[in-house]
Amino acid sequence: MPRYLHSAAILNGFMLTFGGSFGSNTVNNTLLKCFVSDFMLYDIECDQWQKVNTTSLHLEYLDRFGHSMIAVNNTAYIFGGFNSVLLKDLIKITLDSCDMFQNETLCTSNVIKCKWSNNTCIRDTSCTSVKDSNSTCTTYTSCQACHIAQCHWCGNQCTSTSKCSQGPSNCTEKDTCSIYSSCNSCAINTACSWQNNVCVPGNGTTGCPQKPCSEHSHCQNCTSNSCMWCSNTAKCVETNAYVVAFHYAQCMDWTTKNMECQGEFSLTYTN
């Protein structure tokens, strides 16, 4: 999954990455979760990625981006970050070592690639010849994002294989249209239509503004074209791109309403 403002450190031959932001329109202007708390391991020797399953740990409260990470021996320390508020907590992550596992089941069922040999758990340095693309597909949690990544939605999960015991599932037309967050992106799909600032099933979209939001230089023309105007930075952005444009909430005064443009309208009081 593409991301930025995450952290990374090298531990025992792996690069451990944590958190970060997907951006609200990273992939084809789709609505994705802004910041996350997932761990990914990159096997440097084998050039392979895998997601660490932390479902049972309930790490949702650790969602963040813009944090820092440092590795000391076999432990990573994560500090601070941002998730709509500035954070000051310290997270300690210890990566298991193979020699700590005392039986074959535990040895071969962890994420750090160990193998059982001569009644001892040791590091497995072999690399599989075919990379498991499913580890990437399983990071997508919505049908729309799954299909955009050219994976397959099976039941309620995303997978790399097109063979699904429950029968392959396609996103409904309504869901497919709802992933587009701007008029121009909605117009890409001829089965969708941009109506009242929302992309819905229809017969195509016409009449979208020619300029992207970033090219509007005044509040009036910005908000008139379904964009968001930040007055203290004098910047026009997509309405769903606040986190992308202002990583640390630099925009302190914004509007999407034309009538709220400061200095560009007048009020008349009648007694």
Distance CA 181, CA 217 (A): 21
Q: What is the pLDDT of residue 28?
A: 41
Q: What is the pLDDT of residue 268?
A: 36
pTM: 0.53
Q: What is the pLDDT of residue 52?
A: 75
Backbone dihedral region for residue 33 (phi beyond 0: left; psi -120 to 50: alpha; all else: beta): beta
Distance CA 144, CA 19 (A): 21
Reading the block at residue 17, the tokens are 């990455």
Q: What is the pLDDT of residue 130?
A: 38
Helix, strand or coil for residue 173?
helix
Give how far Cα 253 sits from Cα of 39, 190, 230, 242, Å. Answer: 34, 36, 6, 12
Rounded mean pLDDT for each run of 10 residues along the chain, 271 residues in total: 84 88 50 72 82 66 88 91 86 84 85 85 73 62 70 78 61 67 76 82 74 86 87 87 76 86 49 43
Q: What is the pLDDT of residue 26?
A: 37
Which residues are bridge partners to 226 per DSSP? Answer: none
Cβ pair 38, 52 in contact under 8 A: yes
Q: What is the pLDDT of residue 1?
A: 61
